[in-house]
C-alpha cells in the first residue's frame, strides 16, 4: 500500500470528475475526519486515517482490501471505476439518468440503457458525459456514459442506446470473487 503519485491522483480525479465534478473536494476534505486514497495491488482504496493505521498491521501479500475500493489502474495506467465506488458517486452525482421499472433488470444484468427504458434524464446532459443511473424510486443502480445528449434523446427511436453501461449493482453478484 502506498499513497498515489501526483500523476495517478490526476488520472483518478479526472475520471471521478466526469461523474461528480468539483464535488471531489468533499471527498478529499471531509469535516468528519481525515480520509485518504491509497494504492494497493493497482487498486485505489478510499479509507479513513484510522482504518489505514489499522491496516498497516497486515502484511502486504495478505491484505485483500481496505476501506472502499474506488477502482483500479489498468496496465496502460488508465483508471477504471468499480461499482464499489457507487456509494460515493451517487450522492454527489451531477448528471443522473432514471430508468423505468421494466428496464431496471436489463440494466442490472449488464446491458446498456435503451431509449425505451429511459424514465428521466438530467437536463443539459452532454454526449459522453458520465452519468449515474437510478431506478425510478431513486435507488442508485450503477453508472455509465450518456450515448446521446438530452436533446438528441428526445428524438431518437426507442431501440437506440441512450446510456452506455459501465458498472451496475449486479456485479456484486456476478463478479463477487474479483470485486474487492
Partner 1 sequence: MAACSVEELLAKAEEEEKEKLKSITVHKDLELEFDVGNLLAVDKNRIDSRDVKSAKKEDFLRALARDNTQLLINEVWKLPTERVDDAIVATLPEPTTPLPREKPPPKPKPPTKWEQFAKLKGIQKKKKTNLVWDETERVARNEYNKLKNIARAQKVKIPGLGLTPKEQQSKNELTKAVSVAKTSTASAGRFQDRLPKEKRVKNTGKKRKFEPLIGDFSNERQKQLELLKVLGSKKPKLDITKAVNKQMREEDREEAAAKRSKGAGKKGRKGNVPGKRKGKAGKAQGGKRRGKPGKR
C-alpha span between 9 and 120 (Å, rounded)? 33
Side-chain half-sphere CA neighbours of 57 within 13 A: 4
Q: How far is CA 81 from CA 44, 62, 132, 136, 144, in A?
A: 9, 23, 12, 24, 10
**Cell numbers 476534505 label which residue?**
29
Residue 135 CB, nearest approach to partner 1 (Å): 27
Q: Would you count residue 14 as binding partner 1 (CB under 8 A)?
A: yes
Between 129 and 180, name the residue whose CB sits nearer to partner 1. 129
Q: In this chain, which of 74, 105, 151, 175 binds partner 1, going by CB under 8 A? A: 151
Q: In this chain, which of 74, 115, 126, 133 binds partner 1, going by CB under 8 A? A: 126
Residues within the interface to partner 1 (CB under 8 A) = 1-3, 5-6, 9-10, 13-14, 17, 22, 24-25, 28-29, 34, 36, 38, 49, 52-53, 56, 126-127, 149-152, 155
Amino acid at each position: 500500500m502506498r499513497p498515489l503519485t501526483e500523476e495517478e491522483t490526476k488520472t483518478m480525479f479526472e475520471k471521478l470528475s466526469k461523474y461528480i465534478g468539483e464535488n471531489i473536494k468533499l471527498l478529499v476534505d471531509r469535516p468528519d475526519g481525515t480520509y485518504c486514497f491509497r494504492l494497493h495491488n493497482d487498486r485505489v482504496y478510499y479509507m479513513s486515517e484510522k482504518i489505514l493505521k489499522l491496516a498497516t498491521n497486515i502484511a502486504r501479500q495478505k491484505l485483500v482490501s481496505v476501506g472502499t475500493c474506488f477502482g483500479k489502474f489498468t496496465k496502460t495506467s488508465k483508471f477504471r471505476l468499480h461499482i464499489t465506488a457507487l456509494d460515493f458517486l451517487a450522492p454527489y452525482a451531477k448528471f443522473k439518468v432514471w430508468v423505468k421499472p421494466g428496464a431496471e433488470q436489463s440494466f442490472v444484468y449488464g446491458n446498456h440503457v435503451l431509449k425505451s427504458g429511459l424514465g428521466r434524464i438530467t437536463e443539459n446532459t452532454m454526449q459522453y458525459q458520465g452519468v449515474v443511473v437510478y431506478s425510478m424510486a431513486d435507488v442508485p443502480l450503477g453508472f455509465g456514459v450518456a450515448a446521446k445528449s438530452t436533446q438528441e434523446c428526445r428524438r431518437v427511436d426507442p431501440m437506440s442506446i441512450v446510456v452506455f453501461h459501465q458498472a451496475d449493482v449486479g456485479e456484486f453478484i456476478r463478479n463477487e470473487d474479483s470485486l474487492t
